Copies of this chain bind each other. A is one copy, B any other.
């Protein structure tokens, strides 16, 4: 088992209060929570505000399950950059005797991993990943490129933590742009502005900053430095609990990383680039609850108007 990341005192207190109020439902595993009706109501309304903001792009809508073909995370090199965050799906393929042994071990809460074999499936690490092969399978992009809304999808990160804002399973609202390099980058930049406006309209003290992904190991430090220099990743940060502000949205320019892996080309045969944006839905809800209080009925009128209308 990996070490569980500890929470600061105020993160732990926030988590306990979320559970006591029924906003979160404790599962016993750090970073895995059920959601009560109020939490989900807010999340749905934040999602609708993002949908509204995305109308300008007239995106095509696609939805994907929380699992993707294991081959895809192999193809895109995810295990080089983020081996510590990936999750793979294992299952049983034995006969009756092994099933009995496995079941008995499980009854005693002992280790039954030896009976499990790797399947063709893995957990989705980022909601945009299934989009690239799906679009590439159609052939060259239409002129002007395309924008795909992958919705609010479940994603997995294997980083058990007592901080309620660091979950192992959460919803990422992702939108993807695929097209010519300058168009894709401009789309990414435009959305980082749009996202900042959106969060501030919800009364959140959001700031934009250059950022890096949590790449693994020594090699990862070089990748991160390169990412920062080229401004490939922008984040919107909001104070939730804890000493540091928390990233609640990111805007990522991939250059040709995904396009090259899947042979994605422009209408004229030129090399396509891609960018994606991801709003961390639960983190935005947590930022709202932390900023405005745990009773949405007492939130500022202008925030309530943005989310509940009227």
Report which A residues bind B (CB closer than 8 A). 1-2, 25-29, 32-37, 40, 60-69, 71, 73-74, 77, 79-80, 83-84, 86-94, 96, 99, 102-103, 106-107, 109, 111-113, 115-121, 123, 130, 133-134, 137, 151, 154, 156, 158, 160, 168-170, 216-218
Q: Please, how many angstroms separate the alpha-carbon atoms of A33 and B102 in the complex?
A: 30
A interface majority secondary structure: mixed
Distance of A276 Cα from B89 Cα, bound (Å): 27
Q: Are A79 and B169 in contact (CB under 8 A)?
A: no
Given A28-B69, A63-B34, A66-B154; A116-B118 close (CB under 8 Å) = yes
B27 touches A112 (CB 8 A): no
Cβ contacts under 8 Å, A29 to chain B: 69, 120-121
| Set B61, B79, B137: member contacting A106, Cβ < 8 A | B79
Residues of the B chain whose Cβ atoms lie less than 8 Å from the Cβ of A60: 37
Q: A69-B28, A168-B67 are in contact. Are A89 and B137 (CB under 8 A)?
A: no
Q: Do residues A25 and B99 form an inter-chain contact, with CB atoms below 8 A? A: no
Q: In the complex this chain forms, how many copies of it are found?
A: 2
Q: What's the nearest-Cβ distance from chain B to residue A108, in Å?
A: 8
Query: Cα distance A116–B73 when bound, in Å?
Result: 14
| A1 → chain B closest CB, angstroms | 7
Residues of B within 8 A of A88 (CB): 89-91, 113, 116
Of B63, B89, B115, which is within 8 A of A123 by CB?
B89
Q: Is the CB of A134 within 8 A of B34?
A: yes
- CB–CB B67/A156 < 8 A: yes
The residue in chain B whose Cβ has the minimal distance to the Cβ of A170 is: B65
Contact A99 B118 (CB under 8 A): no
- Ordered by A's residue number, 17 sampled pairs between the chains whose C-beta atoms are within 8 Å are A25-B62, A25-B130, A25-B134, A29-B69, A29-B121, A32-B65, A32-B121, A35-B62, A66-B66, A67-B156, A79-B92, A80-B99, A83-B94, A83-B99, A111-B118, A120-B160, A121-B168
Q: Are B65 and A36 closer than 8 Å at their CB atoms?
A: no
Closest to A169 in B: B65
Residue ID in chain B nearest A217 by CB atoms: B96
Q: A32-B69, A134-B25 are in contact. Are A1 and B120 (CB under 8 A)?
A: yes
Interface centre among A35, A91, A96 (most CB of B within 10 A): A91
Contacts of A34 in B (CB 8 A): 62-65, 130, 134
Contact A28 B71 (CB under 8 A): yes
| Cα distance, A87 to B33, chains bound together (Å) | 19
Partner of A68, one of B27, B69, B71, B133: B27
Assess the A118–B107 pair: CB atoms within 8 A.
no
